[in-house]
Amino acid sequence: MWTSLWSQAIPYAWYLHTESNAHTSSRTFNRWMSPSLSAYGILQCLNRFLQTQNNVIPMLISSGFTACLHIFVCWVLVFKSGLESKGAALAITVSNWVNVFLLGIYINFSQSCIKTWTGFSAEAFHDVIGFVKLALSSAIMICLEYWSFEMVVLLSGLLPNPKLETSVLSISLNTCWMVYMISVGLGGAISTRVSNELGAGNSQGAKIALRVMITIAITQGLTVGITTILVRKVWGKLYSNEEEVIKYVAKMMPLLALSDFLDGFQCVLSGAARGCGWQNLCAYINLGAYYVVGIPSAVLFAFFLHIGGMGLWVGIICGLSIQIIALVTVNACTNWDNEAKKAMHRAQKTRIPVE
């Protein structure tokens, strides 16, 4: 979680400073960051493997070491190597691969994984179709949400003074993703916990875990929201030296505080939904929340009511609100005893026979 935080926030901020302004095209940055995609995918698999066993301390140590190393790597590749934006992208790639290698070494040689990791075998393809269907639904569910945030930045280029609007929306999105890493951690934890409890037939344990995580999410959201508002006048200085950009970012920060709070809450609810295997349902919820409500609202506020970039972000907040209402309704109407029975049935169905 924290490695992703540093990976997204530090290099991008330094990248903008090295380019002298915040509205330089990110095409080069994205192209040089492409090798990081495979590392990030492998890293997520390793994380989930350890999370399902409640073996999170190695992940904490690995991420902590990588985060500390990442600061030095960024400094070298951005400033000392002369690569600037390319170096910022490479820093993300290096950090992700370092994390992958550290966790890979631990899983291969640790005694705690000796019974759960036995190497590669044909058993990995057991019920692969079922897993692919679940993975596709999960990917669509998450991508629909991610793409809506990216679309807001694209739409900002159609506003008057597009350079300023795109700069501020890019900074806002980067800030949002940085805070989102905390919410992703909470969502991953509740997803694993709920699936484990339901698979063990303990519906009461799943409900308690969800309630505890909701409390944590609300506390975290309030803390982050208040902090975001308090630093609103200085946050823009991390990304740009232009006074116009800094003042506009300060105006956006209260909206970011609200969206961060809502996003943390929905991450927990979405995580619980993934633990129950509701990926298909959540994909439809995200589609309706962001593309039927969120993006049209953003267009309405920004282009017809002439609120500009702030209007675009208000549209995202509308989408988040609808998503949360739908997820709360789904969770409130859930029969957890039935979900536990379904989970046990799925576990028995996919269990590999021991010879």
Say how many residues make up the chain.
355
Are 270 and 281 spatial neighbours (Cβ–Cβ below 8 Å)? no
C-alpha span between 199 and 205 (Å, rounded): 11
pLDDT at 234: 92
**How many angstroms separate the CA atoms of 288 and 336, rounded?**
25
Which phi-psi region, left, alpha or beta, contains residue 306 (left: φ > 0; alpha: ψ -120 to 50)?
left
Q: What is the mean pLDDT of residues 298-308?
A: 93
Q: Helix (H, G, I), strand (E, B), or coil: what is residue 197? A: helix
Average pLDDT rounded to a whole number, residues 294-304 = 94
Rama region for 65: left / alpha / beta (φ>0; ψ in -120 to 50; rest)? alpha
User: What is residue 249's predicted lDDT score, i.e. its pLDDT?
Assistant: 93
User: Per-residue pLDDT for 24 more than 50?
Assistant: no
pLDDT confidence of residue 3: 43
Q: What is the pLDDT of residue 27?
A: 66
Tokens 């105006």 appear where? Answer: 251
Closest CA to 17 of 161, 174, 231: 174
pLDDT at 354: 41
**Is residue 77 within 8 Å of residue 83, measured between CB atoms?**
yes
Q: How confident is the model at residue 180 (pLDDT cuts 50, 70, 90)?
A: confident
> Which residues, 6+ apart, have CB-to-CB distance to 239 below 8 Å?
12, 13, 16, 17, 22, 171, 174, 245, 249
Whether 126 shows a pLDDT value over 70: the answer reads yes
* CA 213 – CA 269 distance, rounded (Å): 9
Mean pLDDT value across the chain: 84
- Where residue 161 falls (left for φ over 0; alpha for ψ -120 to 50; beta otherwise) is left
pLDDT at residue 18 tops 60: no
CA quadruple 317, 319, 321, 324: dihedral positive or negative? negative
Please give the average per-residue pLDDT across 219-234, as a whole number: 92
pLDDT at 348 over 80: no
Percentage of the chain beyond pLDDT 90 is: 35
What is residue 13's predicted lDDT score, i.e. its pLDDT? 46
Predicted confidence at residue 26, as pLDDT, reads 59
CA 269/CA 177 separation, integer angstroms: 18
Residue 326 has pLDDT above 90, yes or no: yes
pLDDT of residue 22 exceeding 70, the answer is no
pLDDT of res. 232: 92
Nearest by Cα to 171 from 153, 195, 193, 197? 153
| CB 172, CB 316: distance < 8 Å | no
Global confidence as pTM: 0.78
Would you state the pLDDT for residue 192? 87
pLDDT for the residue 145: 86
pLDDT at 87 over 90: no
What local confidence, expressed as pLDDT, does residue 322 receive? 95
Q: Higher confidence at residue 20 or residue 77? A: 77
DSSP states of 286-335? HIIIIIIIIHHHHHIIIIIS--THHHHHHHHHHHHHHHHHHHHHHHHT--
Q: What integer pLDDT is reported at residue 12 of this predicted model?
A: 46
User: Strand, coil or helix: what is 231?
Assistant: coil
Mean pLDDT of 182-194: 88
Least Cα distance to 311 among 112, 195, 168 occurs for 168
Task: Go through 286-308 and write b for each residue having 16 or more CB atoms within 10 A of its CB, e for each that does not.
Answer: bebbbeebbbebbbebbeeeebb
pLDDT-wise least confident of 215-219, 244-248, 271-275: 271-275
27-36, 88-97, 103-112: least confidently modelled range:
27-36
Query: How many whole angstroms separate alpha carbon 252 and alpha carbon 313?
Result: 9
* pLDDT confidence bin for 123, thresholds 50/70/90: confident
Is 237's pLDDT higher than 50? yes
| 114: Cβ contacts below 8 Å, ≥ 6 apart | none
DSSP 237: G
pLDDT of residue 351: 57
Residue 348 vs residue 3, higher pLDDT: 348
Percent of the chain residues past pLDDT 70, beyond the cut: 90
